[in-house]
Amino acid sequence: QKEVEQDPGPLSVPEGAIVSLNCTYSNSAFQYFMWYRQYSRKGPELLMYTYSSGNKEDGRFTAQVDKSSKYISLFIRDSQPSDSATYLCAMISSGAGSYQLTFGKGTKLSVIP
């Protein structure tokens, strides 16, 4: 079983739709959770960062973490064509002398005008 699973898509939605992107994980030691957006031929850009269960909102984006189910989500409201990109989830576990960061493989999103 892979440590982080993310549906690669592609996912196509009409402009204005609510988008839900998800990742599941198996390592209960993951403490920090991130979502990155990556446009074609560019480096990933950090969108959301959270370390606790629950919701975190930033504009049209909401990150949701459910540690009991080992499941994280990113919701995009009122999606725009400029949201078309690949979205990567990432998770960190760290402690004394150890550090592990694992990325999902990314979901490609297209928002159709």
Partner 1 sequence: DVKVTQSSRYLVKRTGEKVFLECVQDMDHENMFWYRQDPGLGLRLIYFSYDVKMKEKGDIPEGYSVSREKKERFSLILESASTNQTSMYLCASSPGTGGQQYFGPGTRLTVT
Q: How far apart are the first and last CA of the chain?
A: 37
Q: Quote the longest CA-to-CA distance of the chain.
A: 49
**Which segment (15-23, 52-60, 68-76, 84-92) binds partner 1 by CB under 8 A?**
84-92
Task: Give the nearer residue to partner 1 in terms of CB position, either 44 or 109.
Answer: 44
Q: Is 103 in the site for partner 1 (CB under 8 A)?
A: yes
Q: What gap in Å lies between CA 44 and CA 21, rounded to an integer? A: 16
Q: How far is the CB of 92 from partner 1 (least distance, A)?
A: 6
Selected from 21, 63, 74, 106, the binder of partner 1 by CB under 8 A is: 106
Selected from 17, 22, 105, 110, the binder of partner 1 by CB under 8 A is: 105
Tell me 85's DSSP state: E
**Which residues, 6 or more positions from 76, have their beta carbon under 8 angstroms from its beta carbon?**
18, 19, 21, 60, 61, 83
**Which segment (10-18, 63-71, 74-82, 87-95) binds partner 1 by CB under 8 A?**
87-95
Positions in 14-43 near partner 1 (CB under 8 A): 31-32, 34, 36, 41-43
The number of residues that bind partner 1 (CB under 8 A) is 22
Q: What gap in Å lies between CA 45 and CA 43, rounded to an integer? A: 6
Structure tokens at 80: 């725009």
